[in-house]
A and B are shown apart, each in its own frame.
Chain A
Amino acid sequence: MAQLFAPRANVVVRSVLVAAGALAVCASFAVWAFARSPAATGQYRRPEQPIPFSHPLHVNALQIDCRYCHTGAERSTMAGMPPTKACVPCHRDDLLQTSLFAPLRQSLSSGRGIAWRRVTSLPDFVFFDHAVHVRTGVACESCHGPVQLMHELYQAAPLTMESCLGCHRAAAAGYDRGRLTSCTTCHR
């Protein structure tokens, strides 16, 4: 009986095997890389806000401290968003009457909050406490980026577990790194 496969079939088989192996490696790498890319993590995502609030104007030009509006940052798990009424005393009345501030006027009349789009979002199984980070010397910019330069707020950090653990693993002497890298530090 004649040979079914010509000698070059060996070459074909080998190259297919090599190609398949390479594909598997590349595909794994691609998944690994994609999971860390802004496309997957939402880094640099810039959701459109109901009012085009400008952080540079408030932080640089008016020299308002972050904690003036985000009052919980030093005390609570949440940094907190200012209530609508907190905007009113500083703003001139004629400015508030412009179309830009329509959501604010609506909020004041209805008593319901302004629906800001969440920019920095952690999953529900992550318990982040603002107070303990801020009070132990982690600057706001470490996670939120140069907010004072963002005309439109965007997500500055990838917010992957790696980005949290990067700091927790490198905590300064005097911190219990074992405790800081325990799962239940963040997951409860």
Chain B
Amino acid sequence: MSVRQEEMARRLGVDRECPEGADTVSRRGFVKLLGASIALAGLDGCTRMPASNILPYADQPELTPGIPQYYATSMVLDGFATGLLVESHEGRPTKVEGNPDHPASLGAAGVYEQASVLQLYDPHRAGRVRHRLGTSSWKELAAVLAPSTLRARVGAGGAGLFLLLEPTSSPLDSELLDRLIGMYPAAGVHFYSPFARLNDSLLPQYDVSEADVIVAVDADFLATGPFHLRYARDFAARRRPEASRGMNRLYAIEPSVTVTGTAADHRIAVRPGEIVPALEVLLAAIRGTPGQRSGPGPDWVAPIARDLRAHGDRSLIVAGPYLPERARALAHQINLALGNIGRTIWFSRSPLLGAGDERHSLARLVDALRAGHVDTLICVGGNPSYATPGALGVASLIRRVPQTVYLGLYENETARDCQWMVPAAHFLESWSDARAYDGTLSIVQPLIEPLAGGKTSAELLSLLLGMPDAHPYDLLRQAWRGRGNFGDGSDFEDGWRKILGRGVVEGSSFPREQAGSAALTPDAQRQRSLPIEILFRPDARVRDGAFANNGWLQELPDPVTTLTWGNAAHLSPATAQRFGAVTGDLLDIQSAGLTVRIPALVMPGHADDTVTVHFGYGRDGSEALARGVGVDVYPLWPDGAFTAGASVTRMPSASHRTLAITQPHHTLDASKPARAMTLDEYSRLGPRKPSRSLTLYEPQASLPDGPARQQWAMTIDLGACIGCGACMVACQAENNVPVVGHDDVVRGREMHWLRIDWYAARSGEPATIAQPMLCQQCEKAPCEYVCPVEATVHSSDGLNEMVYNRCVGTRFCSNNCPYKVRRFNWFDYSAGLSPIEGLVKNPDVTVRERGVMEKCTFCVQRIRQAEIAARLDGRRPVREGEIQTACQQTCPTRAIVFGSLTEKDGQVARDRRNPRAYAALEDLGTEPRVLYLARVRNSASEGDRRK
């Protein structure tokens, strides 16, 4: 274990590679198994292809079997669309990529987008229309909700009819809702999701690329939120010291550790209650009226104020969405004082329906439910019985409503509380539209017919309008034709086809609006001083719980903590010490009158006397994978605020839970595996000397065949990498990497080909470096020498090949790999998948079986396909940029570059000459084809000195 990785692990409170999960086998049992293995190994060697059939189409659609097709669609989260391109093999979507034409994606995709395809094939999705306990049908529901029947129940005006929808920006939904209100003028329409920005009618838009100094105030704008992919791209573009426009500088002021915080040049841990006073001081300092309200303030404010003033209108304050109103207003005032409004930040109308309108809030619905005004409640998506503040008691209120209908993907907590359950169509099965965060119109088009007969929200709304058989495609086309979105008078069909092809309507973003004055309201809550503050946050993997049944996301290590399969209460080391707790110890946290028992996770860099908990776990619907994983903290959540007072009690010492944290797994045995430097150190760097190891032999003459024209290599810029984990899920989707489950993760058997190692940048400082670690494709690969069956060999184009069908599973290669990137199939993880689960597999990659070693191959299937395509085109060499590995393609920050060394002017060759370039464990002489570019910190003191 490297010193700094060890420090990270120790900080997190985990120290052994193989903790007490490891099974013990008796000597006698071991010999028995050994004998049986030898006897059976002979039989296993005989393979005979089973007889199989070829099933051609009876009537072939417009496709050639074997050639994948790509469709543009959009994924909607909290109402905001992110444009995607989805790969389809013979009508079966297998892989999601970002849509380069879409402003929220720019070609990148995040973890949710990447993992969404697994959710499509989730066998636990609801598959039938249910009424109470019995199977029912859409037709029967249509009879119950038909206008004539429903009017008799809810009154002619529809006063007893209430709808609770997930936040939506869909113009189609909007039109249908308008028609519905026309039909039932008194009906209530409410929107809710735990993290939706429904209170703001104006949304801040940032141009991160224009900002020289960025201050993120409890804002994880690089890894969460609707436009994070774009912000991460713009931010990273100016993290390379070579960049012509100079490096930007990021300050993060935050209580809990976020991805944005780890990427920051200066990170300041503050308690939530300290943020507003600090911003007041900052505002006063920038306006030049120091000490106006609260004296000098904390000592970190003055340097930030100096830096901000020095950069004038080329700075940006990003206020997090979970901050109290006053903090966000202060941030706005600071931006105003600096002259940033209109330059790095401006405002546009919220595309969400009902945004900023109190009448459409959940609170109003709860009032109506409590008063007993609700006769028929229709929940469209979301999971209100689970994902609502515990104090509101929404679940029991829903159960009391005489007639309830739920449209959802799963038979979850809300489905259980509703009489009618209608399976929802996944977005990859739906026709719809939506707007991106900046208002850009995007198309949602299906890749496949609904697998389980799911219905879209538009279908449910048109059922209420008395059109139960309307097809969502017709509804959408009608709506678009009626709106005349193409404007230029050209043929509708042409425009429509073009939009389906691109997935996005260009130039449809909302115009800039005059920002309101955002008057500072007097602060009512200031005086309250809380002994322990508790922060509620969406989980980086399961979000509000909507993705809890997704194995890829459950097994994705949390960025920063590397926790998988569950949640924990994050505490600072000092606070944990006060409670005498270490990582895994159970704590009783009391808030909002309720108590929840949750394991602690000691997180260095966390603010003291503060606890951060994440939503989305402790599910008890019928989602088999999500059930019982982690702890539900919604009961602790008081209404309306993401921060609250809490009390914490440590449980007796026996109460301990093993957390599946991957930080101590697969550690590199070196003192300095990842590198970071200051800008000063960077400017003193000489040109990079390629460290060829000494040898007594003549340089190897080329083989008779000659080396291949391409020599594949990769560089990863740690300055750009923020460790968000999108590459890990992309790799898993592309390469059929299996999910192993909590217990096997505890045993260190997770199968990710690409992992993100977190290192402490310096001892004693909370700063961290994320280093994606994958097969380094060593030119002198230690694994190749020790394979007894030549299952891992070198190709002439410089790949370290892994031949699954030859591997006998000695694991010598993994033992000899210094980078610990080889993964062994301890079980037949892909056996026993239901037919529907098998559909997610990439047909271009072998599905490995038990007893076989596997590892990153630089997406060799993509390389070979591009080579074949180049040959079919009559071109010989493959051009750089023609091949993108899965991790590279999805990377929001473009940290990963892949190409051939033989292209001397290519990005990879140039990056390898960069003075920041280094090889991991360089002194071993393995000559890796992956090089890293060291992270450069642009800390304020140095930057000032350089001026």
Interface residues of B in 116-136 (CB under 8 A from A): none
The CA of A123 and the CA of B804, in the complex, are separated in Å by 12
B805 contacts A177, CB within 8 Å?
Answer: no
B872 contacts A85, CB within 8 Å?
Answer: no
B703 interfacial contact with A, CB 8 Å: yes
B575-610 Cβ-contact flags toward A at 8 Å (1 or 0): 000000000000000000000000000000000000
The CA of A104 and the CA of B655, in the complex, are separated in Å by 68
The CA of A127 and the CA of B804, in the complex, are separated in Å by 13
Which residues of chain B have C-beta atoms less than 8 A from A149's C-beta? none
B49 interfacial contact with A, CB 8 Å: yes
A146 interfacial contact with B, CB 8 Å: no
When C-beta atoms are compared, the residue in chain B nearest to A75 turns out to be B64
The CA of A130 and the CA of B60, in the complex, are separated in Å by 20
B736 smallest CB distance to A (angstroms): 11
A112 contacts B861, CB within 8 Å?
Answer: no
Given A131-B872, A178-B707, A187-B804, do A113 and B799 touch, yes or no (CB 8 Å)?
no
A183 contacts B793, CB within 8 Å?
Answer: yes
The CA of A118 and the CA of B57, in the complex, are separated in Å by 15
B864 contacts A84, CB within 8 Å?
Answer: no
B708 contacts A176, CB within 8 Å?
Answer: yes
When C-beta atoms are compared, the residue in chain A nearest to B800 turns out to be A184
Which residues of chain B have C-beta atoms less than 8 A from A83's C-beta? 56-60
B802 smallest CB distance to A (angstroms): 8
When C-beta atoms are compared, the residue in chain B nearest to A79 turns out to be B66
- Pick the contact of B56: A84, A124, A184 (CB < 8 A): A84
Which residues of chain B have C-beta atoms less than 8 A from A72's C-beta? 64-67
B511 smallest CB distance to A (angstroms): 46
A142 interfacial contact with B, CB 8 Å: no
Which residues of chain B have C-beta atoms less than 8 A from A86's C-beta? 60
A77 contacts B56, CB within 8 Å?
Answer: no
Which residues of chain A have C-beta atoms less than 8 A from B860's C-beta? 184, 188
A187 contacts B846, CB within 8 Å?
Answer: yes
Interface residues of A in 116-149 (CB under 8 A from B): 116-118, 121-125, 127, 129-132, 135-136
B828 smallest CB distance to A (angstroms): 14
Q: Identify whether the interface residues of B are mostly helix, strand, loop, or mixed.
A: loop
A22 interfacial contact with B, CB 8 Å: no
B709 contacts A187, CB within 8 Å?
Answer: no
Given A123-B49, A132-B872, A135-B871, do A110 and B845 touch, yes or no (CB 8 Å)?
no
Interface residues of B in 15-68 (CB under 8 A from A): 47-49, 51-60, 64-67
When C-beta atoms are compared, the residue in chain A nearest to B703 turns out to be A178
- Pick the contact of A80: B64, B846, B863, B868 (CB < 8 A): B64
A174 smallest CB distance to B (angstroms): 9
Q: Which of B49, B56, B806 is packed against the most chain A CB atoms within 10 Å? A: B56
Interface residues of B in 58-117 (CB under 8 A from A): 58-60, 64-67
Given A115-B53, A116-B53, A178-B796, do A123 and B47 touch, yes or no (CB 8 Å)?
yes
A82 contacts B56, CB within 8 Å?
Answer: yes
Interface residues of B in 767-801 (CB under 8 A from A): 793, 795-797, 799, 801
Given A84-B58, A108-B58, A179-B796, do A188 and B846 touch, yes or no (CB 8 Å)?
yes
A71 smallest CB distance to B (angstroms): 7
The CA of A159 and the CA of B706, in the complex, are separated in Å by 28
B209 interfacial contact with A, CB 8 Å: no
Which residues of chain B have C-beta atoms less than 8 A from A182's C-beta? 795-797, 799, 801
Which residues of chain B have C-beta atoms less than 8 A from A38's C-beta? none
Which residues of chain A have C-beta atoms less than 8 A from B708's C-beta? 176, 178-179
A111 interfacial contact with B, CB 8 Å: yes
Interface footprint category on A: 35 or more
A43 interfacial contact with B, CB 8 Å: no
B651 smallest CB distance to A (angstroms): 50
Which residues of chain B have C-beta atoms less than 8 A from A111's C-beta? 58-59
A42 interfacial contact with B, CB 8 Å: yes
When C-beta atoms are compared, the residue in chain B nearest to A159 turns out to be B49
When C-beta atoms are compared, the residue in chain A nearest to B702 turns out to be A178
A97 interfacial contact with B, CB 8 Å: no
A125 contacts B805, CB within 8 Å?
Answer: yes
B329 smallest CB distance to A (angstroms): 56
A132 smallest CB distance to B (angstroms): 5
Which residues of chain B have C-beta atoms less than 8 A from A123's C-beta? 47, 49, 805
When C-beta atoms are compared, the residue in chain B nearest to A176 turns out to be B708
B794 smallest CB distance to A (angstroms): 9
A184 contacts B58, CB within 8 Å?
Answer: no
Interface residues of B in 840-869 (CB under 8 A from A): 844-847, 857, 860-861, 863-864, 868
* Total number of B residues with any Cβ neighbor in A under 8 Å: 45
A182 smallest CB distance to B (angstroms): 4
Which residues of chain B have C-beta atoms less than 8 A from A163's C-beta? none
The CA of A176 and the CA of B67, in the complex, are separated in Å by 25
Interface residues of A in 49-81 (CB under 8 A from B): 71-72, 75-78, 80-81
When C-beta atoms are compared, the residue in chain A nearest to B865 turns out to be A129
A23 smallest CB distance to B (angstroms): 17
B70 smallest CB distance to A (angstroms): 15
B58 contacts A124, CB within 8 Å?
Answer: no
A113 contacts B57, CB within 8 Å?
Answer: yes
A37 smallest CB distance to B (angstroms): 13
A176 contacts B847, CB within 8 Å?
Answer: no
B410 smallest CB distance to A (angstroms): 31
When C-beta atoms are compared, the residue in chain A nearest to B59 turns out to be A85
The CA of A162 and the CA of B857, in the complex, are separated in Å by 24
The CA of A116 and the CA of B57, in the complex, are separated in Å by 12
B803 interfacial contact with A, CB 8 Å: yes
Given A75-B64, A184-B860, do A127 and B844 touch, yes or no (CB 8 Å)?
yes
B65 contacts A76, CB within 8 Å?
Answer: yes
The CA of A123 and the CA of B49, in the complex, are separated in Å by 6
B66 contacts A125, CB within 8 Å?
Answer: no
A47 interfacial contact with B, CB 8 Å: yes
The CA of A182 and the CA of B707, in the complex, are separated in Å by 12
A188 contacts B857, CB within 8 Å?
Answer: yes
- Pick the contact of B58: A76, A78, A113, A188 (CB < 8 A): A113
The CA of A176 and the CA of B797, in the complex, are separated in Å by 10
When C-beta atoms are compared, the residue in chain B nearest to A50 turns out to be B53
A15 interfacial contact with B, CB 8 Å: no
B848 smallest CB distance to A (angstroms): 9
A80 contacts B844, CB within 8 Å?
Answer: no
The CA of A83 and the CA of B706, in the complex, are separated in Å by 44
When C-beta atoms are compared, the residue in chain B nearest to A108 turns out to be B58
Which residues of chain B have C-beta atoms less than 8 A from A177's C-beta? 705
Which residues of chain A have C-beta atoms less than 8 A from B796's C-beta? 176, 178-179, 182
A179 contacts B797, CB within 8 Å?
Answer: yes
A176 contacts B706, CB within 8 Å?
Answer: yes
B53 contacts A184, CB within 8 Å?
Answer: no
Which residues of chain B have C-beta atoms less than 8 A from A81's C-beta? 54, 56
Which residues of chain A have C-beta atoms less than 8 A from B797's C-beta? 179, 182
The CA of A111 and the CA of B61, in the complex, are separated in Å by 12
B709 contacts A176, CB within 8 Å?
Answer: yes
The CA of A78 and the CA of B844, in the complex, are separated in Å by 12
The CA of A118 and the CA of B48, in the complex, are separated in Å by 14
Which residues of chain A have C-beta atoms less than 8 A from B857's C-beta? 184, 188
A121 smallest CB distance to B (angstroms): 5
Which residues of chain B have C-beta atoms less than 8 A from A117's C-beta? 51, 53-54
B64 contacts A76, CB within 8 Å?
Answer: yes
Interface residues of B in 853-906 (CB under 8 A from A): 857, 860-861, 863-864, 868, 871-872
The 7 lowest CB-CB distance pairs between A and B, nearest first, are A178-B796, A76-B66, A81-B56, A178-B705, A182-B795, A78-B66, A77-B66
Q: Please name 20 further chain A to chain B contacts, defined as beta carbons within 8 Å, in addition to the given A83-B59, A85-B60, sorted by A numbering.
A: A47-B51, A77-B66, A80-B64, A111-B58, A112-B58, A113-B56, A114-B56, A115-B55, A116-B54, A116-B55, A129-B868, A132-B872, A135-B872, A176-B706, A183-B801, A184-B860, A187-B803, A187-B804, A187-B805, A187-B846
Q: Give the interface of A toward B (CB within 8 A).
A: 40, 42, 47, 71-72, 75-78, 80-86, 107-108, 110-118, 121-125, 127, 129-132, 135-136, 176-179, 182-185, 187-188
Could you list 9 examples of A-B contacts with CB < 8 Å? A47-B51, A81-B54, A113-B56, A116-B54, A179-B795, A182-B801, A183-B806, A187-B803, A188-B857
